[in-house]
Amino acid sequence: MAGKSTGKIIFDLSLLKRVFQYAKPYKTKFILSVVMAILLAIVSPIRPWLIQITINEHVHEGVTGTQAVKMKVEQMIILITVIQIGMLLLETAFRFYFSYLTAWLGQTVVKDLRVNVYRKILGLNLSQFDTTPIGTLTTRTINDIEAINDIFSDGLIPIIADLLSIIAVLVFMFAVDWRLTLISLASFPILIAATYFFKESVNKSFIRVRNAVAHLNAFVQEHITGMAIVQAFAAENKEFSKFKSINKEHRNANINAIFAYSVFFPVVEIVLAVGTGLMVWWAATHALKLPEEEGRVLIGKMFSFFLCLNLLFRPLRVIADKFNVLQMGMVASERVFKVLDNEDVIKTEGSHAPQMVKGRIAFDNVSFAYVDDRYVLKNLSFEVQPGDTVAIVGHTGSGKTSIISLLNRLYHIQHGTIKIDDVKIEEYKLDALRKSIGVVLQDVFLFSGSVLDNITLRNPAISKEQVVAAAKMIDMHDFIMQLPGGYDYNVMERGGSLSLGQRQLLSFIRALLYNPSILILDEATSSVDTESELLIQKAIDKLIAGRTSIVIAHRLSTIRKASKIIVLDKGEIKEMGTHDELIAHQGFYYKLHQMQFEKHIPA
């Protein structure tokens, strides 16, 4: 999962600018959202102003005037009330459209970002997946990008809208009566201090919650995947205790956040009540000392200020929370941009794209290391002629699988050259290169879906008839038809409803359906039962005819027919020749052969 966040969140303008670059294609809606924020700020003081006019200019007149004056005043008050209702409806419409625009912008940017991130992940070198946990990339693609949505829907633009509303209300209050404004805001420093401590507390709680969720996700995903091991070793109680501990940390982190909210909102209400009380006290006492006309005006101001204080404190209640949301969105965007800025990508600038390769393979002084200078292949040189079958053998870790990974350009070599048909593999278009190479790996991965979907990888260009023909060609059609539903049988996640041997057979068809010129079998029979192995061996004899084939296996019995055997040890070629030549030489290969078959050699 995502790495643990412990440091303080820093507001980075350059990072924010980069996030908003993704809103550039939708600048019309972005501008509209800013316009809505300005309009909301403008209409905020109108209702308090109308209330002030009503009290100052009409209420007293209606009380002391003649009957005709009273009727006129009543009509005016009704008109002002209707205008207020209209303004309230207009403000509600503005607020709705503003919320819709910011949410729409956020979700659209999230959609575009997620596409870009997933495209980037698809193009990363395989070495990135060796060193980066899958959960981390999953979190970047889903959770972190979703958090960026909050920058738009609950972050910067809503914060600007709230600040503009606060400024508009304050300007109105100071314009009406600066002394009454200062008295009303006398308790404001308490709110500023409370807001700061609330922001810091919730910020820390958010980080704890985020880390706790990451730990929960990682723990549950890992243990559900490995449930067979947990149950096989009777470790249920021990693992359950670990889960309860992680879950408790998640609860405590959330409770801390809830506690901060529980303290902050009452403090805001108390500060508002204190401000309102001070305003009423000052206005009432001063109104008694002023002439009747001025006193009545001051009372009208008091009523409008009462509404202004509510308009002022409403955004202040949530603005600290919105700053935290914005900061968490910034943290998420920083993590996402690290993925987008990763330059360790598959280079696909080659232009060579033949319809079909002949299959001549040449390794010339190839050295390769997964990490730094820890070479797993050292100065490897060999050739494979078109149509030949070459077997590569050696102890685990000798570099056998690395050879086929380099041939497919899953990794970049540090030294030497690899050529197919006398053309460097870097000069091939990547899709053309890989379509020419069929691979059956030892660890078979099947996706959740039907047998047909797993064979075709949902390629609409491949018909079911082609799949059936390929399966029949290597005598596997009957095996598939024995499954419930045949080609429509759901293999479930990772092929869990099939045996290892059955999964191997399906991957065999999948690799060979494209009729590759080069066939690679990496431990193709290591995970299958005897019956399945015989079926695969029979299929191999049909398929390698006319194809360049590379067979990697621990079982030496599967490679005796190879035209050439390459013996690897610690990344270096120890021997090369046919089975009979290497046995006669009684070297490294002979020792490997004796280790496997000495129990079966007659005394």
Question: Taking residues 188-212, what's their average pLDDT?
Answer: 80
pLDDT > 70: what percent of the chain? 86
Q: How far apart are CA 331 and CA 144, in angstroms?
A: 8
Q: Which residues contact 289 (CB under 8 A, 6 or more apart)?
A: 295
| CATH level 2 (architecture), domain 361-600 | 3-Layer(aba) Sandwich (3.40)
Question: 160 burial class (0-12, 13-18, 19+ CB within 10 angstroms)?
Answer: middle
At 367, give phi and psi (nearest 5°). Answer: -125, 140
pLDDT of residue 436: 87
559: helix, strand or coil:
coil
Whether 65 and 105 have beta carbons less than 8 Å apart is answered as: no
Max CA-CA distance within the chain? 133
Whether 315 and 166 have beta carbons less than 8 Å apart is answered as: yes
Question: Taking residues 29-54, what's their average pLDDT?
Answer: 85
Instruction: Out of 131-145, 231-245, 343-357, 361-375, pick the least confident.
Output: 131-145
Which whole-number Å values give the CA distances from 175 to 305, 358, 408, in the listed order? 12, 86, 74
pLDDT of residue 536: 67
Instruction: Out of 177-191, 311-325, 449-463, 549-563, pick the least confident.
Output: 549-563
Quickly count: other Cβ atoms within 10 Å of residue 46's Cβ.
Answer: 17
Beta-strand pair 572-577/564-569: antiparallel
Residue 582 has pLDDT above 80, yes or no: yes
Domain ranges in the chain are 15-340, 361-600
Residue 132 has pLDDT above 70, yes or no: no
Q: How far apart are CA 151 and CA 31, in angstroms?
A: 16
Whether 43 and 87 have beta carbons less than 8 Å apart is answered as: yes
Residue 1 has pLDDT above 50, yes or no: no
Two tokens at 242?
Answer: 């670990």
CATH assignment of 15-340, among 3.90.1300.10, 1.20.1560.10, 3.50.50.60, 1.10.10.410: 1.20.1560.10
Give the confidence band of 601 by pLDDT, cuts at 50, 70, 90: very low
Domains 15-340 and 361-600 belong to one CATH topology: no
At 555, give phi and psi (nearest 5°). Answer: -75, 105
Average pLDDT of every residue of the chain: 80
Instruction: Out of 145-154, 164-173, 501-510, 572-581, pick the least confident.
Output: 501-510
Question: Taking residues 226-250, what's their average pLDDT?
Answer: 84
Give the confidence band of 3 by pLDDT, cuts at 50, 70, 90: very low
User: Apex CA 308: angle with CA 283 and CA 38, to 5°?
Assistant: 150
Length of the chain: 603
Two tokens at 494?
Answer: 């990772």
Which whole-number Å values give the CA distances from 488 to 454, 507, 514, 582, in the listed order? 10, 16, 20, 47
In 3D space, the residue among 20, 10, 320, 1 whose CA is nearest the CA of residue 148 turns out to be 20
Give the confidence band of 366 by pLDDT, cuts at 50, 70, 90: very high
